[in-house]
Amino acid sequence: MTKLKIAVIGCGSIAQHRHLLEYEANTNVEIAAVCDIVEERARKIGQLYGATLYTDYKELLENEDIDAVSVCLPNYLHAPVSIDALNAGCHVLCEKPMATSKEEAEDMIQTAEQNGKKLMIAHNQRFVPSHVKAKELIESGAIGKVYSFRTAFGHGGPEGWSAEGEDSWFFKKDQAFIGAMGDLGVHKADLLRYILNEEFVDVAGFVENNAKEDITVDDNAVCILRSQSGIVGTMAASWAYNPNEDNSTVIYGEKGMLRLEDDPEYSLVAQYTNGDVVNYQLGKIQSNDDGGQSDSKVIDHFVDSILNDTEPLITGEEGMKSLEVILGAIRSGETREISSLEKVTK
C-alpha cells in the first residue's frame, strides 16, 4: 500500500511531543514536509524526520503533493491555514480550540464538505482510557441518572511548554483569542459533551486574569454549565494551579459517583451508594508534566479515518460545539449574564 503523505504545519511543542512522534510510529504514513515560520526550528525538525522543510505553508501546499496536514499553529491561524489546506485537497487534523469564532468554524466545516475531505479536531481527552471507561459506565446505567459534575484542567501555565517560552503567543489575545479557558477548558467542554452524550444549553462564566502579569488573556476561569436534560456542574480552567496539574473530573449520579483522574493511584474510581468501590488502573492521561508524551491515539484515529473513509470521532461540527461552550463562557464573563447556547447549538 502506498503511504499517506503528511505535512505538519507548525513545529512547536504539540507537533514535537505528539503529532510528529505518532505519525512516525504509524507505518501507513510518511512525513513528507514540515513548516515553521522559525527557519531553524523547521530545519531541525525537517532533518530529524527526513522531511522537506518550509517556512511558508502556502509554498508547502503549492509545491508538495500532500494527502493530509496537521495544523499545529497558534489559535488565530487554525481557520485560515486549515481552509487553505482543505482547498489544496488535503485532509486536515487541526489542533484545539478549533477556531476563534463560530463563523470561522463554520467556514472550515463548509470547506471540508465542498472538497470532500476529512476535518478532525485534536480533542485527545476523548481517547483517554479512564474517560472511555466512564462513558461506557454511564451508558450502561451503572450510576443511574446523572445529576451533576465538576471538572478542572489547570497547571502552572504554558511558558514552560510553548516553543516560544515566556513570550509565547499563548499570552497574546490577538493570537490566542482566549487563555486558559481556550487552552484547557475547551478540552473539558468537549469531554463532558462526549461522556454525558448531551449538549450544554446554558453557560455562566467568570473568565479572569488574576494571576499572571502582562498578559492579555484569562488565566483563571470558572464556569457553571447546564445541559439539555438539566445536568448542572462546574468547569474550571487555570494557568495558576501550582505546583501540580489537576486534570480531574467527577460525575455524580443516582447510584454513585465516578472519579476520573482524581486519585493518585487509580485512573478511575467508581464509588457506589450500595458501598461497592471499584478501582480501575487504566492507561495514563497525557500530561504537560511528562512533556505531553504518550500515545494520544489522535493521530492513528485520523489516519484510520482517511484510509477507511470513515467519519472521525471529533468532526468539525463536534469541535465547533465544544468551541461554542467556551465562546458562551466569554460572553457571559463580559455581559455578566448567563449565555444561552440553545439557539446556537441546535
Ligand X SMILES: NC(=O)c1ccc[n+]([C@@H]2O[C@H](COP(=O)([O-])OP(=O)(O)OC[C@H]3O[C@@H](n4cnc5c(N)ncnc54)[C@H](O)[C@@H]3O)[C@@H](O)[C@H]2O)c1
The alpha carbon of residue 190 and the mean position of all alpha carbons in its chain are separated, in whole angstroms, by: 8
By beta-carbon distance, which residue lies closest to ligand X? 12
Measured distance CA(55)–CA(58) in Å, rounded: 9
CB of 292 to ligand X, least distance (A): 6
Query: What phi and psi, each to the nearest 5 degrees, are found at residue 271?
Result: -115, 115
By C-beta, is 227 or 249 nearer to ligand X?
Answer: 249
Pick from 165, 112, 15, 166: which is nearest to 319 by CA? 112
By C-beta, is 44 or 255 nearer to ligand X?
Answer: 44
CB of 161 to ligand X, least distance (A): 6
Measured distance CA(146)–CA(143) in Å, rounded: 7
The percent of the chain in helix, strand and coil, each rounded to the nearest 5, is: 40, 25, 35
Residue numbers of the site for ligand X (CB under 6 A)? 10-15, 35-38, 41, 57, 72-75, 77, 95-96, 122, 124, 161-164, 168-169, 183
CB of 226 to ligand X, least distance (A): 26
By C-beta, is 40 or 309 nearer to ligand X?
Answer: 40
By C-beta, is 14 or 221 nearer to ligand X?
Answer: 14
By C-beta, is 100 or 209 nearer to ligand X?
Answer: 100
Instruction: List beta partners, residue 226.
Output: 202, 232
CB of 81 to ligand X, least distance (A): 8
By C-beta, is 166 or 342 nearer to ligand X?
Answer: 166
By C-beta, is 36 or 146 nearer to ligand X?
Answer: 36
Find the angle CA(322)-CA(245)-CA(254) to the nearest 5 degrees: 60
In order, the DSSP letters of 295-341 are --SHHHHHHHHHHTT---SSBHHHHHHHHHHHHHHHHHHHHTSPEE-
Return all residues near 328 (Cβ < 8 A) that are at least 6 apart. Answer: 200, 203, 205, 339, 340, 341, 344
CB of 258 to ligand X, least distance (A): 22
Find the angle CA(243)-CA(325)-CA(76) to the nearest 5 degrees: 75
CB of 253 to ligand X, least distance (A): 28
- Beta pairing, strands 146-154 & 200-208: unpaired
Phi-psi region of 177 (alpha: psi -120 to 50; beta: other; left: phi over 0): left
CB of 163 to ligand X, least distance (A): 3
